Amino acid sequence: MTDSRVPRRRRFLVCEPRHFAVQYAINPWMHPDTHVDVDLAQEQWRTLIRAYEVHGHDVAAVEPVPGLPDMVFAANSAVVVGGRVFGSFFHAPQRRPESTHYDLWFKTAGYDVHRPAAVCEGEGDLVWTGRYVLAGTGFRTTREAHREVQEFFGHPVISLTLVDPHFYHLDTALFVLDDANIVYYPEAFSPGSREVLARLYPDAVLATRDDAMAFGLNSVSDGRHVFIAPQAEALAVRLDDHGYVPVPVDLSEFHKAGGGIKCCTQEIRS
């Protein structure tokens, strides 16, 4: 079955963790007294970039800014579909300045950027499936932003309610495998949202809480290769059973801030 999975070349936007630290607490993973090994974080991040490039993907980078320790989490900066950029408006005041720097990068690259009026945290809560946008709410991005996204892109937006604070963004509880299927942790969602996902994706790969707590749902797939936390061993085995190729990349230093592979990766869809 593995040979039937076809990878699709992707273009990613990232930000070096030169100034990465845990200086405040805005999710259950963060504790300001946590020591971050910046050298290790940079090496882990470089390993992720090398993995993307080895597998044929293009990677562009935003210059990191002192005083913005979470800027490394590029996924939260925007969502890009069809070359159109819907920017971010962060819930936490500490992160709001990041939007200016990402917006500038996109504008310099020739993109128009829509500034949301409602709280919206980019691909953290907005997941493009190839047909519609799955949109998380409950902790960060608001339902008002979901409506803005639908008006901006003209694609259907399906709202999903997150209920476990450990999975405060949709990209900690769900990721897209390819145009036909997803992986998700059901208990991260409200009962109604679980029913919606079951109807939309009856053949989805279901994850356990252990998978999710290991940041296994904060993964990136190119349709064949799945860049995944090595701590999510059981999920990697299930993905292999479904014909995907797990590519383990350890971003354990970033787990201290509640982030992982997907959090560090913004996809630019032309």
Distance CA 91, CA 94 (A): 9
Task: Give the contacts of 138 (CB within 8 A, at least 6 positions apart).
Answer: 161, 162, 163, 168, 190
The residues, any chain, with a CB within 8 Å of residue 59's CB and separated by 6 or more, are 11, 12, 13, 14, 49, 52, 53
Q: By three-state DSSP, how is residue 184 classified?
A: strand
Task: For residues 131 and 226, give the distance between their C-alpha atoms in angstroms, rounded to a whole number.
Answer: 20
Catalytically annotated residue among 15, 120, 263, 264 = 263
Q: Residue 225 catalytic?
A: no
- Check if 146 is active-site: no
Listed in sequence order, the residues at least 6 apart from 243 whose beta carbon sits closer than 8 Å to its beta carbon are: 1, 2, 4, 5
Catalytic residue among 57, 169, 225, 255: 169
Write down the H helix ranges in 32-128.
Answer: 38-54, 97-108
Active site residues: 169, 263
